[in-house]
Amino acid sequence: MFTDDWQPKHNDNLIFRENNSRFTVRNTVTKQTFTIGKIEYQIIQALDGSKKIAELYQQFKQFFTANQFERYLLLLSSKGLLEEGKQTKKKVDILKLLLPLTKDFHFLKKGRLSQLLSHIILSGVFVLGIVLIVLKAHLGTIVTTTMTANYFRWDTILLYLMEVFVIGILHESCHAILMINSGGNVFEMGIGLNHFNPVFYVDITGIKQIKDKSKRLQIWFAGISSQMIFLGIGLLLEYQFGIDTYAILLWNTINVGMILLNLTFLIKLDGYYILCELLDEPDLREKSLSYVIELFQDEKQNFDLIKLTIGMIYMIYLPIFIINMINFILTRQFPNFVNIYNQIINYFIPSSIIILIMIVIVQRRKNANLLS
């Protein structure tokens, strides 16, 4: 296992947070988070590189046997918490490039302020509902203006990027506030590109350590709820107070777009994680796709309508996304292409669903006949 003269030392890139006599350990290189007890925390703190294993064991022998102590050190090493341990960085995702600005987020603590802010953030549905009631006479104009405005202007690209960035900061900060108020930890914050859009992000991977499902749902919904408030404020400024500027129109449109985008489960954004929580199915996309594939191979597979439906939607979504991208480009150069596009979509979606269902049924019958 280990040599007697080995002097183990914990990594310098570890961050510790205490929470209800438990400790959260964050490896800022691998971005892994662990929860440990008080004694385990004290052992890691004692691993300063100045003591040999035998000396360390003497310090904690009332809690462990020699074998248990050595196995714990081996576990720490395998998790990358010791300098000699394996440090495997997260793979680079070209669609999600992130640049951390801080690896130790500590600007807000759980308390009255976080509780007050959480109540305000979660009032988004109520606030937007009241605003729409107040502006009910303008609803037709709001929809028409939003749908027909020209957003493809080179002179407003900088304004668009600035507003997306500011809204992103507020959106992600609201996730962090709810996370902290729920007793969780937020370690990392920064900027990046998400699907080539500028974003501000806050790392809330520690959400898995929060046992209360309702609190996890509130954390995931916080961003959407906050944008409902931003949208409500923007609509009031434009239609109630008459501040009719392109900046406010763009602000409202960006909020509408981001709310709708975050509500869908097709992309791994807030809506996807909300659905995972509601169905108690982590990694729902991967499991649903695997389920559909396994239906072709395993005749004993239990029928799961939810996974089958979601898996088939994902299988159809990718080609539709590609078709939409082609349409977006071509219709701006060849306006008549929109008619061809509509015909493709009208035939593609229903026919794809029918074909997939028939393939699954036929394949399962074949498998059943082979066994009989």
Q: Which residue type, as a one-letter code, is found at position 360?
A: V
Which residue in this structure is represented by tokens 């229903």? Answer: 350
> Are both 261 and 330 inside the same structural domain?
no
Assign 210 a pLDDT band (cuts: 50, 70, 90): confident
pLDDT tens sequence across 114-133:
999 999 999 999 999 999 99
Mean pLDDT of 139-146: 83
> Are both 307 and 272 inside the same structural domain?
no
What's the pTM value of the predicted model, to 2 decimals? 0.75
d(Cα 71, Cα 67) in Å, to the nearest integer? 6
With 0-12 / 13-18 / 19 or more C-beta atoms within 10 angstroms meaning exposed / middle / buried, residue 185 is buried
> Are both 123 and 173 inside the same structural domain?
yes
In a domain, 4, yes or no: no
d(Cα 118, Cα 187) in Å, to the nearest integer? 19
In a domain, 27, yes or no: yes
Whether 86 shows a pLDDT value over 60: the answer reads: no
In a domain, 156, yes or no: yes
Whether 291 shows a pLDDT value over 60: the answer reads: yes
First to last CA, the chain: 53
> Are both 359 and 306 inside the same structural domain?
yes
Nearest in space to 289 (alpha carbons), one of 310, 270, 306, 303: 310
Residue where a domain stops, chosen among 279, 297, 331: 279
> Are both 138 and 266 inside the same structural domain?
yes
Sheet holding 32-36, edge to edge: 14-19, 22-27, 32-36
In a domain, 89, yes or no: no
The residues facing 98 across adjacent strands are: 192
Domain, as residue range, for 306: 284-371
Determine the pLDDT at residue 61. Answer: 85
> Could you give the C-alpha distances from 113 to 107, 109, 177, 214, in angstroms and in order?
12, 8, 10, 20
Residue where a domain stops, chosen among 225, 259, 279: 279
Least confident of 51-55, 208-212, 319-323, 350-354: 350-354
> Are both 142 and 128 inside the same structural domain?
yes
Residue where a domain stops, chosen among 249, 279, 309: 279
Whether 314 shows a pLDDT value over 60: the answer reads: yes
> Are both 41 and 109 inside the same structural domain?
no
> Are both 254 and 355 inside the same structural domain?
no
The residues facing 25 across adjacent strands are: 16, 34
> Are both 241 and 340 inside the same structural domain?
no
> Are both 223 and 322 inside the same structural domain?
no
Mean pLDDT of 233-250: 90
The residue ranking higher by pLDDT, 165 or 149, is 165
Mean pLDDT of 216-244: 93
